[in-house]
């Protein structure tokens, strides 16, 4: 028997107020529990309910199932093949739309990752106020202007106030923002902004070094195909010595940090 009493959100579909109180947004804040501040900050952004860090929420367009969206991408890839002068039915191309749709699902997987769930359970209270550095985080992203890869390394530092984050989470945060259509400048800022929101640290620094296929392949802007972007917040913005200390960590070859 269907037990309306246990179903929560659907117990009273006519009661508007009740329906709202049990709606997705409140449910989510409640689930996030100890990180309410972070969730609230996300929701306060313009169109907060539908956007996170300025991005459309998961699974757009919302009225299509995952399978319908995948098929639409396959159809679009087939259209591209035909319109660049190819025969999409020749043997080598028959499964190409399928493979491309699957691959895009993977390289753009960041849209499907919930940032709140990602950090949940990985924040720890500590008395530690020295610089934490995680460097040489490999990333692969897709430039939003050409849908071609850019890739390289991200380096992250922060100075805790009272919280630290599990070390494995920082590469996962980088990955979440990388696996979207991006420009490197914004990706750098987003990584810094998320750490700032989650940790409330005394300072955050992010340096990203990226090589851009769109510049490399076309050969027109060779000097722009390798790019370094930075985001300095809090003490890293105001304290030049601290900034230099972080930068000096990056000069050393990997493996010599400690």
Residues that bind Zn ion (CB under 5 A): 143, 145-146, 214
Q: What distance in Å separates the CA atoms of residue 141 and residue 118, rounded to the nearest whole number? A: 19
Sheet order of strands, 149-159 included: 181-182, 132-143, 149-159, 203-212, 226-234
In the annotation, is 251 catalytic? no
In the annotation, is 79 catalytic? no
Q: Quick check: 182 and 143 in contact, CB under 8 A?
A: yes
User: Roughly how many angstroms between the first and final C-alpha of the chain, as a whole number?
Assistant: 62
In the annotation, is 209 catalytic? no
Q: How far is CA 49 from CA 39, 143, 173, 182, 237, in A?
A: 11, 26, 21, 21, 31
Helix (H/G/I), strand (E/B), else coil: 119: helix
Q: Which of 190, 197, 202, 212 is catalytic?
A: 212
Residue 132 CB, nearest distance to Zn ion (Å)? 32
Is 31 or 145 the residue whose CB approaches Zn ion more closely?
A: 145
**Which residue of this chain has its Cβ atom nearest to Zn ion in the complex?**
214
Q: Which of 39, 155, 202, 214 is catalytic?
A: 214
Q: What distance in Å separates the CA atoms of residue 110 and residue 168, rounded to the nearest whole number? A: 17
In the annotation, is 91 catalytic? no
Residue 237 CB, nearest distance to Zn ion (Å)? 28
Q: What distance in Å separates the CA atoms of residue 194 and residue 197, rounded to the nearest whole number? A: 5
Q: Which of 28, 53, 98, 146 is catalytic?
A: 146
Q: Which residue in 51, 43, 50, 54 sits closest to 144, CA to CA? A: 54
Q: Which of 143, 155, 189, 197 is catalytic?
A: 143
Q: Which of 144, 185, 221, 224 is catalytic?
A: 144
Is 182 or 235 the residue whose CB approaches Zn ion more closely?
A: 182
In the annotation, is 68 catalytic? no
Helix (H/G/I), strand (E/B), else coil: 76: helix
Residue 187 CB, nearest distance to Zn ion (Å)? 13
In the annotation, is 145 catalytic? yes
Residue 223 CB, nearest distance to Zn ion (Å)? 14
Is 141 or 202 the residue whose CB approaches Zn ion more closely?
A: 141
Q: What distance in Å separates the CA atoms of residue 178 and residue 198, rounded to the nearest whole number? A: 18
Residue 108 CB, nearest distance to Zn ion (Å)? 15
Is 225 or 235 the residue whose CB approaches Zn ion more closely?
A: 225
Is 102 or 145 the residue whose CB approaches Zn ion more closely?
A: 145
Cis previous bond, 4, omega within 30: no
In the annotation, is 109 catalytic? no
Q: What distance in Å separates the CA atoms of residue 249 and residue 258, rounded to the nearest whole number? A: 10
By annotation, the residues acting in catalysis are 143-146, 184, 212, 214
């Amino acid at each position: 028997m269907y037990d309306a009493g246990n179903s929560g959100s659907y117990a009273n579909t006519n009661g508007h107020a009740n329906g709202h109180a049990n709606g997705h947004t409140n449910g989510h804040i409640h689930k996030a529990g100890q990180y309410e501040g972070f969730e609230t900050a996300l929701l306060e952004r313009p169109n907060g309910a539908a956007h996170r860090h300025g991005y459309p929420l998961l699974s757009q367009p919302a009225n299509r199932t995952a399978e319908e969206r995948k098929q639409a991408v396959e159809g679009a890839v087939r259209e591209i093949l035909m319109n660049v002068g190819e025969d999409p039915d020749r043997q080598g191309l028959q499964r190409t739309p399928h493979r491309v749709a699957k691959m895009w699902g993977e390289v753009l997987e960041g849209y499907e990752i919930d940032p709140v769930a990602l950090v949940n359970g990985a924040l720890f209270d500590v008395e530690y106020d020295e610089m934490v550095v995680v460097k040489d985080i490999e990333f692969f992203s897709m430039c939003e202007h050409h849908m071609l890869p850019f890739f390289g390394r991200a380096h992250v530092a922060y100075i805790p106030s009272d919280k630290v984050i599990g070390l494995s989470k920082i590469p996962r945060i980088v990955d979440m923002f990388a696996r979207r259509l991006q420009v490197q400048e914004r990706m750098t800022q987003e990584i810094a902004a998320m750490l700032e929101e989650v940790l409330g640290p005394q300072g955050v620094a992010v340096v990203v070094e990226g090589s851009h296929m769109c510049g490399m392949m076309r050969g027109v802007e060779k000097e722009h195909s390798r790019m370094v972007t930075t985001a300095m917040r809090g003490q890293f913005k105001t304290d030049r010595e601290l900034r230099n200390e972080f930068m000096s960590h990056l000069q050393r070859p990997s493996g010599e940090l400690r």
